[in-house]
Structure 1
C-alpha cells in the first residue's frame, strides 16, 4: 500500500467539521446541540433528534453512500469478539491505548484534551462501551445505540479539531485528529488487538482476523476515514501499521504522561490479589514489546514467565 501519508495529516472530516462549525460558532446553537445530544441515547431517538438538528442528516447520507457492512463479515466479527470479549476489553487499555500514545504527534492532541490523562477511568469506560456497542448483535436495531454512538464519536472528533485549532496548536504536527492519526487509531482496535491476542497465546485464523479487521474498516468509514486508509486484507493492514508507526513512534512528553496516567489508573483499580501493580507494567511491556515500551517509559519489569504460561493455558482452554 504505497500512500502519501503526509497529505492525510492535513485532512480532517469536512462534513463533520462543517456541521460542528455551524453549531459551535453560535452560543445558542451550541446549547441547542448539547441539549439534543443529551437526549440522543438510542437509535430510536434519531428521528426526533433530526427534527431538532436537521443538519445531522449528513450522517444518514453518509451511511447510505457507504452502505451497511457485509452481513457475513459482521456475523464473523461479532462471533470472534464474543469468544474473546474479556481479553479484548483488557487489551483495549493495556495495549491499544498505549500503542496510540507512542505516536508522538497524535499523543499531543490527546494530551491537550486533558481529560485523557485527568479522567482516565472514564475514558476507559467510554472506550469499552463503544466497542461493546459496535459488537452488540442488536446494536443497529431501534433499541440499540450503535448508530448514535458512531455519530457522537464522529462529531466529537470534529469538536476536538475545532477547539484545538483555536488554541496554541503547532501546525507542523498536521491537523488535529487528522486522517492518518485516525487510521492508526482504527488499527489499534483491530490489527493491534489481534496481535495482542496472539501474544497471549490464542490461535486466530486468517478468516477471523480479516472479518474483525474488515468490520473495523467499515466502522472507520462511518467515522469519516477515507477508503485509502481502510485495509481490506492482511497485507494492507500490516503495511499501513508499519508505515504509520515508523513515521510517528518516538518519545514525547505527552506520550509518557498519558501512559503514566493510564498505569496509575490501573494501579488504583487493582486489589493486587491476582497480579501485583508492577506486574501490570510488565504485562503492558510484554504486549507492546521493549521498543515501544521504552518510548513510553514503561517500567522495565518483566512479566513473570509463570503468568505468561498461565495466559497461554487460558488461551488454550478458551
Structure 2
C-alpha cells in the first residue's frame, strides 16, 4: 500500500508507457496530426482495432489492460446498477464536491490552473467529466457498442499530454511531475470514496458492501488510467488512510485552488435558474458537502446551507 512507500518518490512518477507514447507522437508535427485525426474517429470501443492499425504504438494500452484483474462480473453489474439509481446525485457531486476537493491540493491545482481550459472553459470541463463518468459507469462500458475503454484511453493520453507540455514550459520539478501518481490517486478517490461520502451527507444510506464495490470499480478504472496498483485501496480503511495522508501532505491554500473554485462557482451561477437554490445557496451547499476545513482552504463564502433544504435533500434521497 502507498503508506508503506516514500510518497515523495511517487510524485516523480507519471505514467511511463503513456508518456513514451505521447513523446513519440507530440515531438513530430506530422505524427501529432495523424494521432489527432485518428483520435477523432475513436468513438466507440469497436473502433479500437481500426485505431490501432493506424496508431500501432497505442498497443501499450491494450497490453496493459490484459494484465489488470477485472472485478467479478456480478460486482461490476451491481455497481453499475448502484450508480444508475443515483446518477443524478452523483453527477451533481462531481461538480459540487469532487472537483473542488481536488482543488484543495495546492500542487495538483497548479496543473489544472496552468492547463488553462480547465478554468477558462469550466462548463466544457464539467461536461467532459460527466461524459467520462457516464461512459465508464454504463452497462455497456466495456462492450463493443460502449465507450468506456476508449474514453479511458483518451483521458490517459490527455494526462500524458499535460505532462509533456507543462514540463516543456518550465514546470517546477520540486513539485513532482504534473499529474503524478500521488495526484492521480487523490483524483481517483475523489470519484469513489469522496462521492460515497457525499451521498451519505445528502442523506443516502450506503452499506459497506456497496461502498467497497464502488471503490473497487474505480480501482479498476484507475489502473486502466495508469495508476500504480500499490495506490489502490483494498478496503474502506485503506481508502480513508490514503485520502487522509494525501490531504495532510497536499491540502493547503493556494491562489490556483481559489481561482479554480471561483471559476467553478461563476459557472454554476451562470447555469442556475434559481428554481431550487439561489446563487447564494450554491457555495453554502458546497461548504456543507466539503466541510469547513476544505472550504476555508478554497476561500468559499462563509454561508450556512438552510436546514430546510437539507431536510428536502434527505427526503428526495429516501425516495430514490
TM range (shorter): over 0.9
Q: Where does residue 194 of structure 1 map in the other structure?
A: 196
Counterparts of 1:69 and 1:45, CA distance in 2: 24
Aligned to 2:72: 70
Alignment partner for residue 121 of structure 1, among 114, 118, 123?
123
Deviates more, 1:65-74 or 1:5-14: 65-74
- Look up the match of 2:240: 238
Q: Contact 1:50 / 1:56 at 8 angstroms: preserved in 2? A: yes
Q: Which runs of 5+ in 1 are unaligned?
A: none
Partners of 1:69 and 1:158 in 2: how far apart?
A: 26
Contact 1:44 1:142 in 2 (8 A): yes
CA shift, 1:69, in A, is: 3.0
Match for residue 281 of structure 1?
A: 283
**Contact residue 73 and residue 214 of structure 1 kept, 8 A:** no
- Confirm or deny that 1:262 pairs with 2:264: yes
Match 2:158 to one of 156, 159, 167: 156
The two structures have a TM-score, normalised by structure 1, of 0.99
Match of residue 297 from structure 1: 299
Paired position in structure 2 for 1:137: 139
Matches within 5 A, 1:193-232: 193-232=195-234
Counterpart pick for 1:46 among 45, 48, 64: 48
Match of residue 176 from structure 2: 174
Instruction: Determine if the alignment matches structure 1 residue 60 to structure 2 residue 73.
Output: no
Q: How many residues align?
A: 318
Q: Distance in 1 between matches of 2:197 and 2:5?
A: 23
CA distance in structure 2 between the aligned counterparts of 1:292 and 1:81, rounded to whole angstroms: 26
Aligned to 1:33: 35
Q: 1:177-236: per-residue Cα shift (whole Å, max 9, x none)?
A: 000000000000000000001111110000000000000001001111111101110111
CA distance in 2, matches of 1:67, 1:234: 19
Q: How far apart in 1 are the matches of 2:287 and 2:69?
A: 39
Unaligned runs of 5+ residues in structure 2 are none
CA contact (8 A) 1:78 1:137 kept: yes
**Structure 1 segments of 4 or more deviating over 3 A?**
none
Per the TM alignment, residue 73 of structure 1 is displaced from its structure 2 partner at its CA by: 2.2
